[in-house]
Amino acid sequence: MINVNLRPGQKRKRAAANPLKAVGQRLASLGGKVKDPMLLAAAAAWLLAIGFLGVTWVMTQRTLHAVEPRLESARSEHQRFKTFLAQKHKQELIRDSLLAQIGTIRSVDGDRYVWPHVLDEVSRALPAYTWLTTVALDATPVMPPVAAPTDKKNDKAAAKADSAADSLAVPQALGFRVEGRTVDIQAYTRFLRQLEASPWVQNVTPVSAQTVVEQERPVTAFVIRAEYRRADSAYIRTVPLSESVR
């Protein structure tokens, strides 16, 4: 069947006036030509897939633009904390090095002023009419204090602090023996009390006290055992090694 358009101008104008209707007519004619339902289902699936991908892409782009400022903020925070951790690690290395050096110095120089302190405190506590014959290291070993049981699940920081404290620990208690003479038994008891009151001396124990004849005079010979301890910092006074003299 042949159709002749006798008024082509009006048809073009009507087509231009309603383009959606012309598209619908073409799709309807295409649907009339296609008779296979599987092909129609495949075309519909492709259209749905393309639409889904388009919607997903749009939503992804929108989410990406919303997350980009947070990402930049997280990167700046990461860089700042990374620099902070690097500085902290460097300071910890310096601290550990200083602690090791101080521990080495104290291990070498810790016992240098033990006997000066012992002799100074003994001479300061010595009362009148009392003299000493022997001040020597006690041969009896000093038993270390029994440590309290600790939990095996200690924190790493506490273990590290304990190791640092052990490296800076003062020498263990040093036992010494004092032998002397006195003409007054009260001076002997006063000597014991003054030794016990010293911040550098602990565990003052009288070993023996007996009357002996020395230069035709009865005197009391005594033996005292004590231990040296490091005094609190409040009792320690420091003086300069050298002073300028004009």
Please tell me the predicted confidence (pLDDT) of residue 41.
79
The token pair at 206 is 């009288």
Are 183 and 97 part of one and the same domain? Answer: no
The number of distinct structural domains making up the chain is 2
- Is the residue at 57 inside a domain? yes
Are 222 and 125 part of one and the same domain? Answer: yes
Are 124 and 22 part of one and the same domain? Answer: no
Please tell me the predicted confidence (pLDDT) of residue 85.
93
Are 131 and 225 part of one and the same domain? Answer: yes
Please tell me the predicted confidence (pLDDT) of residue 244.
62
- Is the residue at 178 inside a domain? yes
How does pLDDT run along the chain (246 residues), one tens digit per residue? Answer: 566 666 665 555 454 556 666 666 666 666 566 566 777 778 788 888 898 898 899 898 888 888 888 888 888 899 999 999 999 999 999 999 999 988 888 777 667 778 888 898 999 999 998 999 999 888 655 444 444 445 544 455 445 545 544 444 444 568 899 999 999 889 999 999 999 998 888 899 999 989 888 888 899 999 999 998 887 777 777 766 666 666
Are 100 and 129 part of one and the same domain? Answer: no
- CATH number for position 120: 3.30.70.2830
Domain holding 74, by residue range, is 14-110
- Is the residue at 243 inside a domain? no
Q: What distance in Å separates the CA atoms of residue 117 and residue 195, rounded to the nearest whole number?
A: 12
Please tell me the predicted confidence (pLDDT) of residue 91.
94
Are 118 and 221 part of one and the same domain? Answer: yes
Return the exposure string of 188-221: e unless at least 16 CB atoms fall within 10 Å of the residue's CB, then b: bebbbebbeebebbeebeeeeeeeeeeeeeebbb
- Is the residue at 149 inside a domain? no
Are 206 and 226 part of one and the same domain? Answer: yes
- Is the residue at 30 inside a domain? yes
Are 59 and 120 part of one and the same domain? Answer: no
Of 110, 125, 156, the residue at which a domain comes to its end is: 110
- Is the residue at 194 inside a domain? yes
Are 214 and 119 part of one and the same domain? Answer: yes
Are 99 and 134 part of one and the same domain? Answer: no
Please tell me the predicted confidence (pLDDT) of residue 137.
87
Question: CA 93: distance to chain centroid?
Answer: 12
Are 21 and 90 part of one and the same domain? Answer: yes
- Is the residue at 64 inside a domain? yes
Are 81 and 24 part of one and the same domain? Answer: yes
- Is the residue at 213 inside a domain? yes
User: Containing H/E element for 207?
Assistant: strand 201-214
